[in-house]
Every structure is written in structure tokens, then in C-alpha cells.
């Protein structure tokens, strides 16, 4: 049905609240980069209106520290724009602080705890190799 795939990969040693926080942030990055994935508003039987959601499924995967670093590297090598959340962003409180701490790191020393991407299915599968379905 879709030529593309959306995947969010979380580092497997995060606490539950961190996994939820990172997933939420990374999802907004994908939506911001790809506004065409947002469908129409939802309406219930009585006419109440709710926010529009993604028209495309999003898979959530899990990977260890080394695998998520490899996934990050492969996304850069293939030129796939991704959403990234690094460990240091847990200690900030707003967007400007997130971007400031993010800018202190290069790909080889970033402590990536989450990455999200949308690309052609085969490319996403190759990039996320080593990750497994989140349990």
C-alpha cells in the first residue's frame, strides 16, 4: 500500500518514560519533514473533531547501543534525513536547549538513544538492519 516505511528505533536500555518521550519527539520530526503523511481530522459520531493522524503505519524497533550507532551512520551514508534524540537532551527543558546540546556532538560521539526515518521500504530495512520489533 505504501512505497515508503516509517521506523522509529529506540535504544533498548532506556526507561519506559524515556522510550515514550523519545518516540513522541521523533514522531513530530517525521511529521514536520513529511506533512503529506498527515490525514484528515477525525470526527466521532456526535461531531466532535479530533486531531488528524498519520495515514501511514509507524513501526517501533529496538536496538542496542552499537546497533543504533550503526543505524545512525547508515542513515547518513544513504543521505536519509532522520530525526535524532541524544541522551543529553533528557536534561534540557526546551527546543533551543535541545538544539544547543545536540550541536556539541558529531555523529561519531553522539549518544543516540532514538532515531526515526521515512524512506523507501527497502532502504529503511537496510538502514535499520540489526534492530528488532520493540517488545
- Backbone torsions φ then ψ of 10, nearest 5 degrees: -110, 140
Residues 26-72: tens digit of each pLDDT: 999 999 999 999 999 999 999 999 999 999 999 999 999 999 999 99
Query: What's the DSSP call for residue 95?
Result: H
Q: How confident is the model at residue 94 (pLDDT cuts 50, 70, 90)?
A: very high
**Number of domains into which the chain is organized:** 1
Q: What is the pLDDT of residues 116-127, one digit of tens each?
A: 999 999 999 999
pLDDT at 135 over 90: no
The pTM of the full predicted model, rounded to 2 decimals, is: 0.94
Q: The CATH number of the domain where 72 resides is what?
A: 3.40.1490.10
Whole domain around residue 50: which residue ranges? 4-133
Amino acid at each position: 500500500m505504501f512505497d515508503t516505511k516509517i521506523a522509529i528505533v529506540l535504544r533498548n536500555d532506556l526507561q519506559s518514560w524515556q522510550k515514550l518521550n523519545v518516540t513522541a519527539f521523533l514522531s513530530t520530526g517525521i511529521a514536520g519533514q513529511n506533512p503529506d503523511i498527515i490525514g484528515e481530522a477525525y470526527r466521532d459520531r456526535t461531531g466532535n473533531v479530533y486531531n488528524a493522524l498519520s495515514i501511514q503505519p509507524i513501526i517501533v524497533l529496538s536496538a542496542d547501543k552499537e546497533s543504533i550507532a550503526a543505524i545512525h551512520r547508515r542513515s547518513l551514508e544513504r543521505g536519509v534525513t532522520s530525526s535524532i534524540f541524544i541522551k543529553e537532551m533528557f536534561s534540557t527543558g526546551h527546543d533551543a536547549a535541545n538544539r544547543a546540546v545536540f550541536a556539541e556532538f558529531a555523529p561519531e560521539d553522539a549518544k543516540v538513544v532514538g532515531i526515526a526515518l521515512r524512506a523507501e521500504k527497502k532502504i529503511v530495512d537496510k538502514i535499520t538492519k540489526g534492530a528488532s520489533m520493540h517488545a
